[in-house]
Amino acid sequence: MNQSPIIALDFSGKKETMEFLDLFGNEELFVKIGMELFYKEGPSVISELKDRGHDVFLDLKLHDIPNTVKRAMKNLAQMGCDLVNVQAAGGSVMMEAALEGLEAGTPAGQTRPLCISVTQLTSTSEEQMQSEQLISASLGESVIHYARISQQAGLDGVVCSVQEAAMIASQIGTGFLTVCPGIRPAGAAAGDQKRVATPQQARESGVSSIVVGRPITTSATPFESYRLIKQEWEGGQA
């Protein structure tokens, strides 16, 4: 998978999104479309981003009965995105159905989008998980459990925080993707994120990919902020 930081394009519409991306010149990016942008603009925003040469993570976090997820994934597979996701809480049968849908919808001669599951949102604290989801395990145990059933269902990886990535790599294997939001350069506001880490901590923890939104999208100089985060993530010169 493309190792560049994944930029979360949490914008209200296509115009604002494309004006933001124009600031990056010809840079080939890995971008993430979430619910806000996709529900406003629909599939056309994916094809426009692909035409611009970007890799696309469609972050809709599907969570429904297996039949519904399978049929939805069949449609998503035809949109040309590179990475999609589901909620692990939907269960292993739902995750298997997601993969069946992706296989069925992928055009002949193309490879299916990678599919990962969300374990515990990076905006969730252990206290909140235990009191609101009534999970008595630790947050780390919950994430590992979800990662394990996701791998058994055939998924390619998980969304988790940097804090759980090394444990997943040691218990499940380094080939299993750990895609980590909640990334904040030192001193940046966490906002609604609870389990945060810097790009350097992400690199040192061996995560597969980082997802970064507001530290880039709300920056006065987005390309410069992206460049610095990428440099810290890669551990070298920009």
Ligand X SMILES: O=c1ccn([C@@H]2O[C@H](COP(=O)(O)O)[C@@H](O)[C@H]2O)c(=O)[nH]1
Contact status: 31 vs ligand X (CB under 6 A)? no
Residue 67, classed as helix, strand or coil, is helix
Q: Does 194 bind ligand X (CB under 6 A)?
A: no
In the chain, which residue ranges form alpha helices assigned H by DSSP? 14-22, 35-41, 44-51, 66-77, 92-105, 126-132, 139-152, 162-172, 199-204, 214-217, 222-234
Q: Is 213 in the site for ligand X (CB under 6 A)?
A: yes
Q: How many residues would you count in the chain?
A: 238
Contacts of 227 (CB under 8 A, 6+ apart): 238
Q: Is the dihedral of CA 128, 131, 133, 139 positive or negative?
A: positive
Instruction: Specify whether 59 is catalytic.
Output: yes
126 touching ligand X, by CB under 6 A? no
Sole binder of ligand X in the list 4, 5, 24, 34 (CB under 6 A): 34
Query: Is 22 annotated among the ligand-binding residues?
Result: no
For 232, phi then psi, to 5°, come to -65, -40
Q: Mapping DSSP to helix (H, G, I), strand (E, B) and coil, where does residue 128 land?
A: helix
Fill in the per-residue mask, 41 to 80: x = in contact with ligand X (CB under 6 A), - = not in contact. ------------------x---------------------
Spatial contact of 56 and 46, defined as CB atoms under 8 Å apart = yes
Q: Find the shortest distance in angstroms from Cβ 37 to ligand X.
A: 10
End-to-end CA distance of the chain: 20
Tokens representing 95 are 């995750």
Distance in Å, CB of 191 to ligand X, minimum:
6
- Residue in the shown chain whose Cβ atom is closest to ligand X: 213
Contact between 214 and ligand X by CB under 6 A: the answer reads yes
Tell me which of 4, 92, 106, 122 binds ligand X, using CB under 6 A.
Answer: 122
Closest CB 107 distance from ligand X, rounded Å: 27
Cα–Cα distance for residue pair 164/157, rounded to 1 Å: 13
- Active-site annotation holds for 64: yes
| Residue of the chain from 181, 208, 225, 230 that contacts ligand X (CB under 6 A) | 181
Any known ligand binding at 51?
no
121 binds ligand X (CB under 6 A): yes
Q: Is 213 annotated as a binding residue?
A: yes
CB closer to ligand X, 106 vs 217: 217
How far apart, in whole angstroms, are the C-alpha atoms of residue 123 and residue 147?
18
Residues that bind ligand X (CB under 6 A): 8, 10, 34, 59, 118, 121-122, 159, 181-182, 191, 193, 211-214
Catalytic residues: 59, 61, 64
